[in-house]
Structure formats: C-alpha cells, structure tokens
A and B are shown apart, each in its own frame.
Chain A
Amino acid sequence: MNEKEFLYPRRLSPAWWHESRKNRALFLMLFPGVLVLLFYNYLPMFGIIIAFKNFMFHDGNFFTSLFKSEWIGLRNFEFLFKTPDAYVITRNTLLYNLVFITSCTIISLAFAIMLNEIRSQKLSRFYQGSMFLPYFLSWIVASYLLYAFISPDKGFINTTILKSLGKEPIAWYSEPKYWPYIIVLINGWKWIGNNCIIYLSSIIGIDQEFYEAARIDGANRWQQIIHITLPQIMPVIIVMFLIFVGRIFNSDLGLFYQVPRNAGMLYPVTQTIDVYVFNSLMRMGDIGMSSAAALYQSVVGFITILAANYAVRKIDPDSAIF
C-alpha cells in the first residue's frame, strides 16, 4: 500500500460506501421516520393480500396464519358487490364529497374575501378566531354539540324552537331525510374556518402594487377582487381542490360514524366506505368483506389522486404535488 492510498482509503471501498459514509449523519436523521413508514405504512400495503384470502387465525403467528389461509381469488369482492351496500356506500362517499368540495370552497373563499375587505382589523381577527374554533374540536365533541340541539327529548330545537312555534318535536336520529343536510352543514361548520384562513393568508400575501395599479386605472373594489384577488390565489385554490378530489373516495369516519351516533336507521344516508369497513371489521369481525371494501377504496383512491394530480399538472405545473 503506497502512501497515497493509505491517506485516501476511499478508493478501496465501493462508491456507495463512500457516499453513505459522507451522508451518515443525514441517514441517521432519516432512520426513525423510515422505520415508522416501513412498519405502519409499507407493511400494511403488503397485507392487502388478505382481501384475496379466506383469512383465519391458525396456530402460530400472524404471518404463518396469512400463508396458511386459503386463496379464494376475488370471492370476497364478489360477495361485497352483490350486496346493495356496495352501491350505497360508494354513492354516499362520492356524493357527499362532491357537495363538500363545492360548498366548502365557495363559502370559504367568500368569507376570506369578506374578511379581507372589512375595515376593522380587530373585528376581522375576532371573526377569524371564532370561525376557526370548530376545527379545534374533535368529531366526538361536535357530535355532543349537535346532540345538544337535536336530542329528541331535550334538544334545544325540539324543546325550545319547535315548541314556541307550536310544532311537533322531530325524532332527528331516526329520520334519514334530514341527515344529508345535517351532515353537509356540520362538515362545513368544522372545515370552513380552516379553509378560509388558508385562503386569507394567501390573499394577504398578494403584492399591494397590483391593487395600486388597478386603482390608478379606476377599478372599483369588486373589479379588483375579480381581476386581481381571484387570479392571484388561483394556485392555492387549485391545490386545495386537488387535495379534496384526490381524497374523494375517503370519508371522515368521525363525521359519518360519530355525528349520527352510528344510528342504524340512518345508514342509507350516512354509511360511507369507511363506516362500512369499520363496522364490519370491529363489530362483526368480518375480515373478508371489510378487507375487500378497504382494498377497493385504496385502489380507486390511488387512481383518483393520480388523475387529479395529472389534471393539475396540465393546468398549473407548479401546484402539482409530484
């Protein structure tokens, strides 16, 4: 070994070894996160084969049970799609999400613009704080807040409002016809404040020179909103839209399970894919059916999120996630 090689031994080792030594500290930093992702995200991805098996616990551990369980191909899916549930849960998930996306986007944007237009900063901050409050509360708390209003025997609406109007009390938790509205309202109540603040913070970030130039040209406030504010925050609107659309096959279990208090009579209008999977897994212990529904959701969700991202990339490449 000559002196030069002794001093620079990196030549003796392969390039990747040198590279990883150089980045050792950075790899160490990534390590805990990689571990969490591997165990809680990647391992379950391989677990999707459960959906193609008649999964049963044999003696021994989970893996041996998994391998011993019989392959049944698509039979779990056949069972799932033969039930009327499959159609109902898909329809509910998609329709609610479509209504949520449009209503939340429009109302949050409108509130953000209003907050930006009103003259008093102090009042604006008070409104922002109040609107943001529901975002901080859990769905279980939200379900209690709703219950305080619509409890059949003690709720504020039945005992105070309807009574003073001389109307009969309504059995809210067994009347499916009201629930599509209640669900949409509660969802808006929870999310509008948060979305509104995201829009507002990007409105505040718009360069004031645009507005000054418009004023010199004699544009009024309304024209300024249409021609400056909206186009300027379009990228943010598109990104938020992408996030929503990509998750169109997902539903918030808290909203659809906790808020209607899992009332069976309301299932036709409140059961979404997530509620169905949760109920059949945790209550019935039906692994076959629930794993089929869960995989159906993952796969279709994967396609929608790729499609949504592709669409955004066409419109505004800078706003795409990848």
Chain B
Amino acid sequence: MRKEQADFNRLSAVSGKTNAVLNIILLGYALICILPLILVVAVSFTDETTLAIHGYRFFPEKFSLYAYEFIFSTGSQVVSAYGITILVTVVGTLLSILIMALYAYPISRSDFKYKNFFTFFLIFTMLFNGGMVSTYLIGVNILKLKDSMWGLIFPYLMNAFWVIILRTFFKTNIPDSLIEAARIDGAGEFTIFFRIVMPLAVPGLATIALFATLQYWNDWFLAALYINDPKLVPLPYLLYQVQTSMQYLLQNSSNIGGMSGDILSKMPSEAARMAMVVIGVGPIVLTFPFFQRYLVKGLTVGAIKG
C-alpha cells in the first residue's frame, strides 16, 4: 500500500533531482533578466574617474552620489522631462481606460443591435493602417499635434486589442441578468456602467491600465515624431537625446553660454546617464508588485475570443 502511494506521488510531482535541475535553469534565467539593471544601478553610484579607469563594474570601487546630485542641481531639464512623463502617463492612462471601457461596454452587450458594426469598425484598425508617414502628416497638419502635450497622449488613447480584451472581460464576468435587474430598478445606462459594470471589472481594467501605463511611461516614439520643444520632452526621449550629447541636459536651463562649457567639462557624464536610467525605471519597478497581483488573474480572462 505504501509503495503504491509513493508511486502515485511520483506521478503527481517531478522527482527531487529534476526539481533541482529545473530550479537551476530558472534561477539562471531570472538572473539574466535582473543583472543588467543591477549593473546600471551600480554604475550610477560609481565615481566618474573610477569608471574611466576600470569601466562599468558590478561592484563600485569608489562609491559616489555625485551623478544624482549633479542631475538634480544642474539638470532642470531632467526634472522637467520627469514632470512631463508623469503628467502624460497619469492623464493618458486614466483617459484611455475610460474611453476604451466606454467603447468596450456597448459592444459587449448582446442586446445592442449595432455591436457587430462597431466591433468591426474597431477590429479593422488592427488589420489595416495608413502607415507611419500618412499618420505623421495628418497628426502634424490636421490634428496639430506638433509640440503639444496632446501629441504624447492622443495617439495611444484607443488600442483595438485591449478594447477586445475588455469587451471579453465584460461579457464573461458581468451577467446579463444583473444589468436587466438594474434596469428594472430604474437605473439608466450610465448608472449601470459606472456603478455596476466598472466596479465588477476591476481586475480586467487593472490589467489594461498596466499596459497603458507602461506604454505612456516608456514612450519615446511619439516624442520623436511630434516634440521639438525642450519643455515638452519626456524622460525616455531625453535619454535618447543624451546618448549622443549631454548638451541636451542644458537646453532648458537659464545658464546657457559661458557657464555651460564649464558645467559640461565637470559633468559625470557616464554615471549621470545611468542615473537618469535608474530614475526613469524607479517608479515602474515600484509599482510592479501592485500590478503583478492582478496580472495572472486579468490575463486568464483576457482570452481574445468571446
């Protein structure tokens, strides 16, 4: 009897040896995923002259906070870019979630006569697009997105794929009978949407909110297309600009001219670049555990077909 039980256990879990091998493989890959970020954090805390001698290392031989001090004392450009990124991310995420949920709800309702038309109207944008050139020219000339905060928000407000995920979520998680009951109680469509549908859809909404937050926070493409004004440059695009020259850090500050050459020569450029990366990544890494809680839950129901 005991042997049979042992046999059965063997069938329900991998052997100790296999378990160890799998853990080693997974740990190895997990380290590959984390270590690059740790290297960059280490570099950002390393003294500039040490970097010049030894290159980038995981353990700084001489620890220094100078890169961060430098960024926040000289680089009003970094602070402004950070502000733009935060603002665009918050406004963009909230607005896009609202607009996408408002679109997803009617097409999730089986009694809505035009749901097929509006679903197709949405899905067609996944199939065909006008391409970068046409979109850019219309964005600049008709929608006036050049050097405007809207240029960083508007293009990402609707994502057909995410709307479909939301629609499926509404369809599978909110019973028709509930909506019917609310209507009999005299609730209007908007009351039903905001008071019943939205609260029940929090896991789905959180998943989409995560995607939207990441998209806005990490975006450099829209800035590359539409933004020339240094005051409107978001952090990822500033990071792109300083790849070639740290000069960009000074484009927004008042002390241009004789001062700037002096500042540039004292600049801890290697460490400061990496410090900017760390500052840009920080909030995303901090919100990570919060979103992770919803993620598997949201994705499971996020199957595309509904």
Chain A interfacial positions (CB closer than 8 Å to B): 19, 23, 25-30, 32-34, 36-37, 39-48, 50-51, 61-62, 111, 114-115, 117-120, 123, 126-141, 143-146, 148-149, 151, 153-156, 158-160, 189, 193, 197-198, 200-202, 204-205, 211, 215, 218-221, 224, 236, 239, 253-254, 258, 261, 274, 277-278, 281-282, 287, 290-291, 294-295, 297-298, 301-302, 305-306, 318-322
Q: Does B103 interact with chain A (Cβ within 8 Å)?
A: yes
Contact B236 A140 (CB under 8 A): yes
Kindly identify which residue among A40, A129, A202 contacts B158, using a CB–CB cutoff of 8 Å: A40
CA distance A45 to B127 in the complex (A): 11
CA distance A50 to B8 in the complex (A): 68
CA distance A205 to B102 in the complex (A): 29
Contact A29 B133 (CB under 8 A): no
Given A62-B137, A119-B19, A137-B284, decide whether A126 and B14 contact each other with a Cβ distance below 8 A.
no
CA distance A204 to B237 in the complex (A): 39
CA distance A205 to B100 in the complex (A): 27
Beyond A131-B30, A215-B12, A281-B133: 10 further Cβ-contacts under 8 Å?
A: A29-B190, A32-B99, A32-B102, A43-B142, A130-B33, A131-B33, A148-B40, A149-B56, A156-B56, A287-B137
Q: Which residue of B lies closest to A134 (CB)?
A: B33
B side interface size, CB within 8 A: 107
Segment at the interface with A among B62-70, B72-80, B105-113, B254-262:
B105-113
Contact A23 B113 (CB under 8 A): yes
Contact B99 A43 (CB under 8 A): no
Contact A291 B131 (CB under 8 A): yes
Contact B33 A133 (CB under 8 A): yes
CB distance from B64 to the nearest CB of A (A): 16
Q: Which residue of A lies closest to B193 (CB)?
A: A29
Contact B112 A44 (CB under 8 A): no
Q: Does B305 interact with chain A (Cβ within 8 Å)?
A: yes
Contact B288 A30 (CB under 8 A): no
Contact B218 A138 (CB under 8 A): yes
Contact B29 A111 (CB under 8 A): yes
Given A37-B125, A44-B138, A281-B132, decide whether A132 and B292 contact each other with a Cβ distance below 8 A.
yes
Contacts of B177 in A (CB 8 A): none
Given A62-B141, A202-B300, decide whether A40 and B12 contact each other with a Cβ distance below 8 A.
no
CA distance A140 to B267 in the complex (A): 22
Contacts of A36 in B (CB 8 A): 99, 154, 157-158
Contact A258 B304 (CB under 8 A): no
Kindly identify which residue among B188, B270, B299 contacts A198, using a CB–CB cutoff of 8 Å: B299
A-B residue pairs in contact (CB < 8 Å), sample of 16: A26-B109, A40-B143, A111-B26, A118-B22, A126-B30, A127-B29, A137-B281, A140-B239, A140-B240, A143-B243, A146-B36, A148-B39, A156-B57, A281-B133, A287-B137, A321-B126
Contact A40 B33 (CB under 8 A): no
Contacts of B157 in A (CB 8 A): 36, 40
> Helix, strand, loop or mixed for chain A's interface?
helix
Q: Which residue of A lies closest to B30 (CB)?
A: A130
Given A36-B99, A45-B128, A46-B130, decide whether A201 and B135 contact each other with a Cβ distance below 8 A.
no
Shortest 5 CB-CB distances between A and B: which pairs? A44-B130, A294-B131, A159-B55, A138-B218, A47-B134
Contacts of B136 in A (CB 8 A): 281
Given A26-B112, A156-B39, decide whether A33 and B103 contact each other with a Cβ distance below 8 A.
yes
Contact B296 A200 (CB under 8 A): yes
Given A48-B134, A218-B11, decide whether A282 and B225 contact each other with a Cβ distance below 8 A.
yes
B216-249 CB contacts (< 8 Å) to partner A: 217-221, 224-225, 236-237, 239-240, 243
Q: Which residue of A lies closest to B291 (CB)?
A: A136
Given A29-B103, A136-B288, A221-B11, decide whether A154 and B51 contact each other with a Cβ distance below 8 A.
yes
CB distance from A256 to the nearest CB of B (A): 12
